[in-house]
């Protein structure tokens, strides 16, 4: 049961209602006019609490864009719009024979759908309908995981890679700065393009800069000139990263899929193998002798040491000793929590590339607050768990349903990016539900 005496809950549902088009919810009213992959997952968690039929519709729409190699695209272009770059004309994914008959971009995004489906199963008020829906969708989600292990794991380490910052979900993170800076761009051969994201409020200081966009575009051009052949792309791509958030969410979803398959009496032996291998590899390679998880740059054969909140995320599934968790949480609280307010910045505030307002370079995002909340909860850190819930709720109440928020101490105008952002509204609904469950 939801709390019903909170006007912000009604406002949150209204944000979702007004961003909903035919059978899917766009992330924001103007900036993002299509269906985004991981946004659909976070948005559906809220629908799971008050209108399950919308979860089914969201997922049917999303998976209508799944490619025959299993890849679940980052963006599904259901409807025409000239409000966003790059749209279908730029992606040219019809160069691949693997596309579905719904237009999409040619890369993927973090695999959140396993744990979102477990969330649905846990919250459902109609077990018959939900079980029927899960029997239909789970095989497709498993195919999207198989894609990661088959095509994105070049050294067969069970650590699937991203090939574009947009695949990480945390596009502009300082984690990728060095790898991107090493890509040589020849302006004469770079396709011409016009950004459409710069016309909004504070866009110049909140959105990625043009140097990053040149690299984003360069990579898309590389993919389309290889006709989206994954083997050629992995061989030729100058940006191949083992990203701790991307891999952590895949394995968190693997874990959830095992539980769902057990419930539905479905075979999960392959998922079990992925789960164990990925946990072991995250621990041995990405944790190693550190006190947090690093990313690994495959092209330049070097670790990118932990500087973002993603460096904690593999603790969603990787078993750690008491000493290891103490060191990880201790350094995290020192670096991130004491130097900022409210919780939780996505980049360590004392890092030289921290930017308080810019896209994924420091600000708070409520979907990551939810995932951090799960990490702290799993490890019994009650103080941080409470803080993440209350800070997230207060951020929305004080500023509105913005896309992200400045985390630096003592700021006034902390709202960043798009207003009426769908997953901010959804996470508000989810956090309120958690609060009710915890009291």
Interacting residues toward ligand DGY by CB under 6 A: 74, 166, 171
Distance CA 77, CA 90 (A): 12
Q: What is the DSSP string of 205-253?
A: HHS--HHHHHHHHHHHHHHHHTTT-HHHHHHH-S--EE-HHHHHHHHHH
Q: How far is the CB of 282 from ligand DGY (least distance, A)?
A: 24
As measured in angstroms, the least distance from the Cβ of 31 to ligand DGY is 8
Which CB atom, from 33 or from 306, has the smaller least distance to ligand DGY? 33
**Rounded CA separation 334/163 (Å):** 32
Nearer to ligand DGY, 83 or 320 (CB): 83
> Judged by CB, which is closer to ligand DGY: 171, or 236?
171
Cis ω before 354 (30° cut-off from 0): no
Q: Which residues, listed in sequence order, are joined to residue 223 by a DSSP beta bridge?
A: none
Q: Which residue is nearest to ligand DGY (CB)?
A: 166
Q: How far is CA 179 from the centre of its chain?
A: 20
Q: Smallest distance, Å, CB 26 to ligand DGY?
A: 12
d(CA 288, CA 75): 34
Shortest CB 7 distance to ligand DGY, Å: 30
- Specify whether the CB–CB gap between 301 and 265 falls below 8 A: no
CA distance 279 to 244: 11
- Tell me which H or E stretch contains 377: helix 366-378
Judged by CB, which is closer to ligand DGY: 61, or 254? 61
- By residue count, the chain amounts to 439
Q: Of 6, 143, 171, 324, which one is the catalytic site residue?
A: 171
- Of 74 and 357, CB closest to ligand DGY: 74
The one catalytic residue in 39, 52, 403, 420 is 403
Q: Shortest approach of ligand DGY to residue 199 CB, angstroms?
A: 14
Please state, as a whole number, how many other Cβ atoms lie within 10 Å of the Cβ of residue 348.
23
Is there a catalytic annotation at residue 171? yes
Residue owning tokens 């969330």: 119
The tokens for 113 are: 């759908």
Q: State the catalytic residues.
A: 171, 403
């Amino acid at each position: 049961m939801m709390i019903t005496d909170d006007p912000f809950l009604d406002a949150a549902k209204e944000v979702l209602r007004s961003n909903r088009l035919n059978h899917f919810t766009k992330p924001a009213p103007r900036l993002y006019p299509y269906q985004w992959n991981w946004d659909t997952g976070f948005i559906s968690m809220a629908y799971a609490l008050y209108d399950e039929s919308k979860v089914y519709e969201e997922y049917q729409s999303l998976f209508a864009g799944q490619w025959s190699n299993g890849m679940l695209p980052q963006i599904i272009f259901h409807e025409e719009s000239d409000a966003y770059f790059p749209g279908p004309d730029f992606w040219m994914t019809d160069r691949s024979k693997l596309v579905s008959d719904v237009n999409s971009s040619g890369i993927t995004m973090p695999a959140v759908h396993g744990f979102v489906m477990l969330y649905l199963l846990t919250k459902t008020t109609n077990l018959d309908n939900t079980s029927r829906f899960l029997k239909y969708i789970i095989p497709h989600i498993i195919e999207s995981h198989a894609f990661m292990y088959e095509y994105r794991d070049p050294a067969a380490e069970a650590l699937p890679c991203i090939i574009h910052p947009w695949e990480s979900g945390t596009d502009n993170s300082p984690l990728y700065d060095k790898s991107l800076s090493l890509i040589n761009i020849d302006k004469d051969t770079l396709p011409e393009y016009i950004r459409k994201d710069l016309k909004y409020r504070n866009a110049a200081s909140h959105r990625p800069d043009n140097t990053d966009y040149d690299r984003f575009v360069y990579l898309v051009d590389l993919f389309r000139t290889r006709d989206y052949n994954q083997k050629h792309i992995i061989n030729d791509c100058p940006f191949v990263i083992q990203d701790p958030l991307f891999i952590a969410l895949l394995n968190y979803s693997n874990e959830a899929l095992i539980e769902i398959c057990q419930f539905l009496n479905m075979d999960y032996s392959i998922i079990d193998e992925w789960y164990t291998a990925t946990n072991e590899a995250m621990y041995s390679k990405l944790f190693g002798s550190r006190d947090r998880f690093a990313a690994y740059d495959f092209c330049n054969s070097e670790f990118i040491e932990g500087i973002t909140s993603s460096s904690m995320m593999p603790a969603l599934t990787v078993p750690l000793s008491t000493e290891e968790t103490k060191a990880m949480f201790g350094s995290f609280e020192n670096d991130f929590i004491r130097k900022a307010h409210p919780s939780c910045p996505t980049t360590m505030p004392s890092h030289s590339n921290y930017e308080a307002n810019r896209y994924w370079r420091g600000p708070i995002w409520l979907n990551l607050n939810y995932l951090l909340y799960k990490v702290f909860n799993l490890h019994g850190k009650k103080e941080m768990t409470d803080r993440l819930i209350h800070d997230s709720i207060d951020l929305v109440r004080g500023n509105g349903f913005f896309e992200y928020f400045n985390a630096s101490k003592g700021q006034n105008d902390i709202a960043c990016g798009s207003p009426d952002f769908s997953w901010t509204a959804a996470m508000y609904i989810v956090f309120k539900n958690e609060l009710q469950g915890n009291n």
